[in-house]
Amino acid sequence: MDGLILATSECDPSSDVVICAPDDVNKLFEFTDPLFSIGPFDFTRTVLLIFIAMTIILVSLWVGLRRTQLVPTKFGMAIESLLTFVRNDIARGIIGPEGDKYFPWLASLFMFVLVANAFEVTPFINFPLTSRMGLPLTLSLLTYVIFVFVGFKTNGISYLTGIIWPRSVPLVLRPLVGLIEFVSVFILRPITLAVRLFANLVAGHLMLTLLLVSGVVFISNIGSIGVKAVWGFAWFAVGMGIFLFEIVVIVLQAFIFTLLSAVYVETSLHAEH
C-alpha cells in the first residue's frame, strides 16, 4: 500500500501528464523501514510477507491433510490434487520413477512460489514477493546446489567431463561445444531460472500499479480536470484486463519454475554418456 499511496500523492492529474509514474520505480518495490523488530531481526514488509506465506502453506497443508479419509473434504481434495499434480506431472513426469525422492522439495518450491506470486493480486497486499531479486535467486541457488550435487553423486567426475568434453560431438567442434555447454549449465542456468521469475513479476507489478493508480487518480479528479478523466477510464479498463492476465502468469511462472528445477535435476541424473 505504501507504493500506491506514494504514487497517488505524487501524481498531479491537472498537469500535462496522461499517466502517473513515480520518479523512481524502485520505490514501488523497496520497503526498508522495519515494521517491528524481534531481537536483532528487523521485520520489514517483505520479510513479514514471507512469514505469512509460510504460515498460509503450513496451515492449509495441515487443515487439508490432517485426516486422510476415503472421501476427503473439499479443501482436502484441492490440496491433494495440487500435490498429485506436482507428483505426477512434474516429479514422475519429468524425472521418472526416481522422481518421488525429489517430490517434497518440488512441492515446497511450487507452493511457496505460487503463494509468493499470488500476493501480487491479493487485495490489500498487492506486492509479489518474488519481485525482489533476493527470493528467486535464493530458490534458484538451492536448485543449483541440488542439481550439481546430484550430478556428481550419480555420475562422479564424468558429469563434469561429459559437459566440457562431449564425446558425441566431432573432435573439431568439441572445445567450442564444451565451452558453450559449460557456460550454459553452470552459469546461465541459475541466473535465467531466477531472472525469469523475477522479470515476469516485476513487469506485472509495475503494469498493475501504474495503470490502476493512474485510473483511480484520474477518475477521482473528474471534477477538476473534466474530459481528461477519459484517460482514467482507459487506464483502469486496461489495468483490469492485465489483472486477469497476471493471474494466469502467476500460476504459469510457479509451474515453470518447478518444471525447470525438475528438468535440471533430470539432466544431472541421466547425463549423456
Sites of contact with another protein (CB under 8 A): 89, 93-94, 188, 191-192, 195-196, 199, 252, 255-256, 259-260, 263
In angstroms, give the least distance from the CB of 123 to another protein.
29
In angstroms, give the least distance from the CB of 85 to another protein.
11
Distance CA 73, CA 84 (A): 16
Q: Which is nearer to another protein, 237 or 252 (by Cβ)?
A: 252
Q: Which is nearer to another protein, 199 or 271 (by Cβ)?
A: 199
Measured from the Cβ of residue 70, the count of other Cβ atoms closer than 10 Å reads: 4
Q: Which is nearer to another protein, 199 or 219 (by Cβ)?
A: 199
In angstroms, give the least distance from the CB of 254 to another protein.
12
C-alpha cell at 224: 477538476
Q: Which is nearer to another protein, 125 or 199 (by Cβ)?
A: 199
The CA–CA distances, whole Å, from 158 to 143, 149, 163, 263, 270 equal 20, 13, 8, 19, 12
Q: Which is nearer to another protein, 209 or 253 (by Cβ)?
A: 253
In angstroms, give the least distance from the CB of 11 to another protein.
22
Q: Which is nearer to another protein, 79 or 197 (by Cβ)?
A: 197
